Amino acid sequence: NAGVTQTPKFRVLKTGQSMTLLCAQDMNHEYMYWYRQDPGMGLRLIHYSVGEGTTAKGEVPDGYNVSRLKKQNFLLGLESAAPSQTSVYFCASTLLGVTGTKTDTQYFGPGTRLTVL
Amino acid sequence: AQSVTQLDSQVPVFEEAPVELRCNYSSSVSVYLFWYVQYPNQGLQLLLKYLSGSTLVKGINGFEAEFNKSQTSFHLRKPSVHISDTAEYFCAVKRSTGFQKLVFGTGTRLLVSP
């Protein structure tokens, strides 16, 4: 049971390049999330998914797109990278989104450190 | 909407001393509260959570937190810290009903020195 995994771990892009970050979970969780973490700003939600084939915007969605074609995978895409997207990106998942003693814990991946030059 | 304030960006403390990391939240509805820890170069992991019941919640690694509804606080405490507790700690809140996203505070870096 690997939990939540993210690839790649590190990436350097030039302005205008595109890339896709992959998040995979083997816990059969319904809900998945993409966050970005910046110094002094905590974690901010980019996009999330409540199930296979569905996605929704979080608080900072501009410049990013996502897809959830398979339940276990949640992809984050940058179509045209900008220096402002330099950040550490975390993926997380929960069993369900509604509250309950077993369902509120978000399980996080190890992160992807992205630098855009 | 919910919000979380962690006033202390950094808390230095000596090993074996007690520590308190402060968290205040704002919400017009009832909420659930969480503390997550992030060790260097790692993802976040859950320390403890308050959903209902006893306002004193015990978590992993000897940490505990107390939910105070009147003061809208959820401060994290440990009676005696170790070097290995050096990490960043995030308080988070979400509505207690329906699907709602977690809202994180900006984090408090705990620095434990010998």
Query: Which class for B14: exposed (0-12), middle (13-18), buried (19 or more C-beta within 10 A)?
Result: exposed
B44–A101: do the CB atoms touch at under 8 Å?
A: no
| pLDDT surpassing 70 at residue A101 | no
CA atoms within 13 A on the CB side of A56: 12
What is the pLDDT at residue B62? 95
Q: Mapping DSSP to helix (H, G, I), strand (E, B) and coil, where does residue B60 land?
A: helix
* Average pLDDT value for chain A: 90
- Tens of pLDDT, residue by residue over B6-55, are 989 999 999 999 999 999 999 888 889 999 999 988 889 999 999 888 89
Residue A25 CA to residue A23 CA, distance in Å, equals 7
B90–A108: do the CB atoms touch at under 8 Å?
A: no
Q: What angle do CA A108, A65, A96 make, to 5 degrees?
A: 40
Chain B residues inside the 8 Å CB shell of A50: 99
Enumerate the β-bridge partners of residue A32.
A49, A93
| pLDDT surpassing 80 at residue A82 | yes
What is the pLDDT at residue A72? 96
- Among A53, A57, A50, CA closest to A94: A50
What is the pLDDT at residue B42? 86
What is the pLDDT at residue A44? 93
* Average pLDDT value for chain B: 92
Picking from B42, B44, B106, the nearest residue to A40 by CB comes out as B106
- Alpha-carbon gap: A97 to the closest alpha carbon of chain B (Å): 5
| pLDDT surpassing 70 at residue A92 | yes
Q: What is the maximal distance between C-alpha atoms in chain B?
A: 45
